[in-house]
Amino acid sequence: MADHRPVPPAHPVAGLIAFASSIIDGAAYTRYARPGIRAAAEPGAAVLAYEAVGTVCQSNNVLLDVAARHHDLEALVLVEEHVAIDDPELCAKVRAAFRDPDVAVAGWMGAAGVRSLAWWEGRISCGPVVVRYDQHGGGVLPAHAWTETDAPPASVDAVDGRLMALSPWAVRNLRFDEALSLGYGYDLDFCLQARAAGRKVQTAAFRAVHHHSLELIADRELWVEGHIQIAEKWNGSLLGGGAAEGDWKARARRAEAERDAARTLAYSSATLLDAHVEPLERELEAMTTSGSWRATAPLRALNRLRRRES
């Protein structure tokens, strides 16, 4: 069994911002995370890239264990393999965040007023982060394009774990909770642990590109179970929302109503999507099926060929 006990520093901190990734998809790491890390890292910086082991919590704890052995550690930046840092000033921003010795975690996006695993339902603070997606012809959207966000820095309850910097204190004193076996909420839980220890969590204006599908949650049933795991651990304390035994009924009734309202909202959003976009798609179809467009198809094919050859 892995020893995840925090490693005490043997020497005073002298100044090293290390980067770390646990790798499941090597191609994604090579394509997205690694170039960004290389561009952002300072000369001589440690870049810890290890194969993922077990859950995301286990993998991250391995990275923390290794990083904790660097006696001159100034910060550890955890980078998920689909995140491309696009920020030559990243290290300066990390240092600025940790100038306050109470700050334990600084992340590219986070939120205050977090009540659950769905931290993005709180008041979001997010830096210059975009999502690059492949669907619908591909494109780029600002992160959280469905809502308004605040600019960093902001003191928050939790940050998203796919790009977050940890202070030496956090690296040596906190561990990702491997009891969260489903992996969901590992970052929220880590931030709540930091806050429970009296430390601060904040956002920083890290510039990055997240190569990700537009879908926020891929495995919905597992995510629901992960949500419950987090609620069982933190409800009544840092997440608020505790209920006396007699109040659980009222809470359940309200939650069931809110759930059905949210499902209806999702259904409405789908029909709105069609209503909003279909006129444009119809117009495009009318143009590209017109006689003149079809008649000039050989011309376009020729142009494509010419461009390819030149």
Partner 1 sequence: MIAFGCSITKPEVFRRCAEPGLRRAAEPDSEVYARAATGPIARSYNALLDAAAERTDLEALVLVHQDAEIVDADLCATIRACLSDPDVGVVGCCGAIGVRSIAWWEASVTLASFVNRYDDHGGGDLESFSWRWEEAPPYAQTGEVETLDGFVLALSPWAVRNVRFDEALGAFHGYDLDYCLQVREAGRKVMTADFRAIHHRPLEMVPDPEEWIAAHIAVAEKWDGRMPGIGTAAGDWHDRALRAEAERDLALAIAHTKQLEMQARRREAERALAETRGSISWRITAPFRRRTRSPA
Subset of residues 163 to 222 that bind partner 1, contact rule: CB under 8 A = 214-217, 220
Longest dimension (CA), the chain: 77
Q: Does 293 bind partner 1 (CB under 8 A)?
A: yes
Residues from 246 through 265 that contact partner 1 (CB under 8 A): 248-249, 251-265
Give the pair of three-digit tokens for residue 197: 């220890």
Determine if 38 is a binding residue for partner 1 (CB under 8 A): no
**CB 288 → partner 1: shortest distance, Å?**
6
Nearest Cα to 84, choosing from 45, 131, 136, 119? 131
Among 275, 306, 309, 310, binds partner 1 (CB under 8 A): 275
List phi, psi (to 5°) of 205.
Answer: -80, 55
Q: How far is the CB of 226 from partner 1 (least distance, A)?
A: 8
Helix axes 186-196, 56-68, angle to 10 degrees: 50
Q: Which position among 102, 296, 304, 305 is part of the footprint of partner 1 (CB under 8 A)?
A: 296
Which lies closer to partner 1 via its Cβ, residue 2 or residue 297?
297
Q: Is 223 one of the binding residues for partner 1 (CB under 8 A)?
A: yes
227 binds partner 1 per the rule CB under 8 A: yes
Tally the C-alpha atoms within 13 A of residue 173's C-alpha that lie toward its C-beta.
Answer: 15
Near partner 1 by CB under 8 A: residue from 8, 10, 266, 310: 266
Closer to partner 1 at the Cβ: 30 or 268?
268
Q: Strand 154-155 vs strand 200-203: parallel, antiparallel, or unpaired?
A: antiparallel
Piece in contact with partner 1 (CB under 8 A), picked from 50-58, 157-165, 190-198, 283-291: 283-291
For 80-193, strand residue ranges (E) read 83-85, 103-107, 109-112, 123-126, 129-133, 139-142, 154-155, 158-159, 163-166
Contact of 123 with 137, CB cutoff 8 Å = no
Distance CA 67, CA 60 (A): 10
Q: Should residue 273 be labelled a site residue for partner 1 when binding is judged by CB under 8 A?
A: yes
Choice between 50 and 293, CB closer to partner 1: 293
Q: Which is nearer to partner 1, 42 or 225 (CB)?
A: 225
CB of 86 to partner 1, least distance (A): 20
Q: Which of 1, 10, 44, 232 binds partner 1 (CB under 8 A)?
A: 232
**Contact string (CB under 8 A) for partner 1, positions 124-163, x = contact:** -------x-x-xxx-x-x---xxx----------------
Q: What does the chain come to in residues?
A: 310
Q: How far apart are the first and last CA of the chain?
A: 59
Task: Choose, by CB under 8 A, the member of 30, 155, 237, 269 that binds partner 1.
Answer: 269
Pairing of strands 109-112, 158-159: antiparallel
| Neighbour tally for 249: CB within 10 Å | 10
C-alpha–C-alpha distance, residues 203 and 192, integer Å: 15
- Nearest to partner 1 of 197, 265 (CB atom): 265
Interface residue with partner 1, options 27, 280, 307, 308 (CB under 8 A)? 280
Q: Is residue 4 at the binding interface for partner 1, with CB under 8 A as the rule? A: no
